[in-house]
Amino acid sequence: MKKLLTISTQDYLKHIYELTEHNAPASTNTLAARLKVRPASVTGMIQKLANEKPALVEYQKHQGVTLTKEGRRAALEVIRHHRLLETWLVQTLGYSWDEVHEEAERLEHVISEDFEQRVAEALGHPLRDPHGELIPTANLEMPLEDATPLSTLRKNQRGTIVSVRDADADLLRYLERLGLIPNTHIEAIDYSPFDHNLTIKVGEQTRVLGLSVTNKILIKED
Amino acid sequence: MKKLLTISTQDYLKHIYELTEHNAPASTNTLAARLKVRPASVTGMIQKLANEKPALVEYQKHQGVTLTKEGRRAALEVIRHHRLLETWLVQTLGYSWDEVHEEAERLEHVISEDFEQRVAEALGHPLRDPHGELIPTANLEMPLEDATPLSTLRKNQRGTIVSVRDADADLLRYLERLGLIPNTHIEAIDYSPFDHNLTIKVGEQTRVLGLSVTNKILIKED
DNA sequence: AACTTTATTTAGCCTTACCTAAATCAATTT
DNA sequence: AAATTGATTTAGGTAAGGCTAAATAAAGTT
């Protein structure tokens, strides 16, 4: 007897999850920007979510918002849907890496538990989606991230790209052109401590990447 | 620059299409029953749909409602989505014949044109869904039905099941148990003009079917 | 033709989730 | 400590799409 949440509520929870993932409560304004809604609307919605029983968010006026246990589970459910869907759309309908997001964004709210299970099964219970993001488990826990930002790689170290985080479609297309997609093997050939630029070798190519990019790419050293 | 319709509107149009398929305008009450909504709500919604520009339905107080050209196209779009989705879910996720309906019912409203095309492509542009229902074409026309009701089959005639129309999940499960699913070959071995019962042979089995069943099964003679 | 039953419509309300404008709080400067 | 600025909240509205109850229209009976 799980409570049914509106699409809008699911979206709020998902975005709150993402904004609070690295500690720190989410502010009304950033949430409003993410949701493409006015700050006043966010305040209203948050107040409702905080007064549900059980409460989905923890909220003190002017102090930002965090998820409760219930809220977190609901958020992880949506995120699991999203990431499974992206994986599935890429694998079975030939969507490209950067096209799937929008489609999954709409589907994630309407698929059944049964559908979720069938897709997970069909995909062999994948750990990561096509961007390399971790997929929450069936019992709604987020696996630990065992990859590290590319920005921590230093001269002569090698690694394999695992994930590209928080990237918009433009950046994804850019990275795809550079061949910087999950499973690609790379080697750091230079690092500048001044501007934090990292020079890497990707296959035959040499690329120089700034911090804003190297921070978004996760790798596993090898 | 197609107009975006709400899920609710899409549902109204779809059900109006189905109720008016064999001539005759749809009445407020039957529509309300189908949509699981009160008659008063139907009146309200229909009035809105009739006043859209362009109008989606034709409506005269107390005379029932029919679709306009625009309304019909919108309805066929939803029905195309539904039937493609059912076909796809059965083929790629192993849904059974009688389980797909609900899932497709929710997905049909949120998939993109791109998704529709990819699925149609992946399936090889099928003509019928798993129930045998005709799938509207990409340019939103309903193909002509070239199959006939099983109730017209007479002693010693043979045919192949093409479709099971308007059946609820219970009937579908029942027919599945009897082996009466699309592509099954059958032969009429007796017909009673009094009660319209038809005795047929399905593989090794002999079955006696009443009119309420034989009218819902479409076949092609051979 | 009058009455009864059933179908349909009108009127008035509710909820959800958004909006704008105005008010208040918090943080930073001066 | 006061003032300014920016973030947040309150107050009051709007549009969808439901609902109930009451009013009206149509259809069927006597």
Give me the residue spans of the domains in chain A.
Answer: 7-67, 148-221
Q: How far, in Å, is the CA of A24 from the C1' of nucleotide D10? A: 26
Mean pLDDT computed over A26-49: 97
Establish whether domains B7-67 and B148-221 are of one fold: no
Q: Distance from CA of residue B90 to its chain's centroid?
A: 16
With 90 as the cut, is the pLDDT of residue B28 above it? yes
User: What does residue B65 show for φ and ψ, rounded to 5 degrees?
Assistant: -130, 145
pLDDT digits (tens, 9 = 90+) for B172-212: 888 888 989 888 999 999 999 999 999 999 989 999 999 98
User: Does the beta-carbon distance from B107 to A102 stay under 8 Å?
Assistant: no
Sequence-distant (6+) residues with CB within 8 A of B94 are A118
User: From the CA of B55, how many Å to the C1' of C6?
Assistant: 30
* pLDDT tens digits, one per residue of A60-85: 999 999 999 999 999 999 999 999 99
Q: What's the ipTM?
A: 0.86
- Which strand (E) or helix (H) includes residue B174? helix B169-177
Q: What does the DSSP 8-state code read for residue B178?
A: T
Distance in Å, alpha carbon of A62 to nearest chain B alpha carbon: 35
Could you check: is the Cβ of residue B6 within 7 Å of any atom of nucleic acid strand D?
A: yes
CA-based nearest distance B94→chain A, Å = 8
Chain B residues with CB under 8 Å of A7 CB are: none
- What mean pLDDT comes out for the span A32-57? 96
Helices (H), B56-112: 69-93, 100-107
3-state secondary structure of B183: coil
DSSP A74-118: HHHHHHHHHHHHHHHHHHHH---TTTHHHHHHHHTTT--HHHHHH
Residue located via tokens 């409203």: B109
Which residues in A lie closer than 8 A to residue B115 (C-beta atoms)?
93, 103
Q: Does domain A7-67 fall into CATH 1.10.10.10?
A: yes
pLDDT of residue A22 exceeding 90, the answer is no
Domain B148-221 is found in CATH 1.20.1050.10: no
Q: Please identify which residue in the block is written with the tokens 């799938």.
A: B135
For the cut 90, the answer to whether the pLDDT of residue B155 exceeds it is: no
Q: Which of A103, A111, A122 sits opposite B112 (nearest CB)?
A: A103
Kindly tell me if the per-residue pLDDT of A124 is higher than 70.
yes
> Protein B32 CA to nucleic acid C14 C1', in Å?
20
